[in-house]
């Protein structure tokens, strides 16, 4: 059961890797949503199997969990941000976005999820606050843009929850 759980954890992240490139090529949202949902289900099944298994896979499982946390959360976060966008809101109809709000979010998200997973797996949950503080301070000047604060909060919550879940699976497998 432990090995199956680890495989599912890895698959939950690997299924999302192609979506990092595809989201910039204009593919439809249906594929993004579908693969994000599959990834989320696989993460949930991995967690369920890990909770009923004997564990004992060793500390090496942490490396897989950090990779799964870093890679797997991006497309899920993009899905949540896409679903939350309200095209009918006046500020979104009046002016087309010339420059994307909160640029570089994909790379920042990968680093954020990596930092969160590492601090949680290292047994230093205070590191979570450090990672989020650095991210907040780095984005502070941009949060005044229309819709930026909401995107920041939604993206951060989705990203943190994914990284914490992937880390939790590893703790159960250890």
Domain count, the chain: 1
User: Is residue 68 within 8 Å of 31, Cβ to Cβ?
Assistant: no
Predicted model pTM: 0.80
Segment 86-112, tens digit of pLDDT? 555 545 545 545 545 556 677 888 899
Segment 125-154, tens digit of pLDDT? 899 999 989 988 887 777 777 677 788 888
Tokens of 79: 């899905």
Arithmetic mean of pLDDT, 13-37: 71
Tokens of 36: 């994000």
Residue 12 has pLDDT above 80, yes or no: yes
Residue 121 has pLDDT above 90, yes or no: yes
Name the nearest CA neighbour of 49 among 10, 91, 104.
10
Name the nearest CA neighbour of 14 among 60, 46, 57.
46
What average pLDDT does the chain have? 80
* CA-based R_g, the chain, Å: 17
Question: Residue 100 has what pLDDT?
Answer: 52
Query: How far apart are the C-alpha atoms of 134 and 166, rounded to whole Å?
Result: 22
Q: Is 126 helix (H, G, I), strand (E, B) or coil?
A: helix
Tokens of 56: 């004992």
Tell me the residue range of the domain where 19 lies: 2-173
Segment 33-53, tens digit of pLDDT? 888 888 888 888 888 988 888
Query: How far apart are the C-alpha atoms of 87 and 70, rounded to whole Å?
Result: 30
């Amino acid at each position: 059961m432990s090995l199956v759980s680890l495989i599912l954890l890895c698959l939950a992240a690997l299924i999302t890797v192609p979506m990092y490139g595809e989201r910039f090529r204009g593919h439809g949202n249906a594929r993004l949503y579908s693969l994000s949902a599959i990834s989320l289900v696989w993460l949930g099944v991995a967690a369920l199997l890990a909770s009923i298994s004997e564990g004992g896979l060793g500390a090496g499982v942490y490396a897989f969990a950090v990779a799964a946390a870093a890679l797997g959360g991006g497309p899920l976060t993009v899905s949540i941000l896409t679903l939350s966008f309200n095209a009918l809101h006046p500020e979104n109809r009046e002016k087309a976005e010339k420059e994307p709000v909160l640029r570089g979010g994909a790379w920042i998200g990968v680093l954020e999820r990596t930092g969160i997973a590492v601090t949680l797996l290292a047994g230093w949950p205070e590191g979570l606050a450090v990672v989020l503080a650095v991210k907040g301070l780095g984005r502070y000047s941009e949060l005044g843009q229309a819709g930026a604060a909401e995107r920041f909060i939604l993206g951060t919550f989705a990203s943190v929850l994914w990284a914490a879940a992937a880390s939790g699976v590893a703790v159960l497998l250890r």
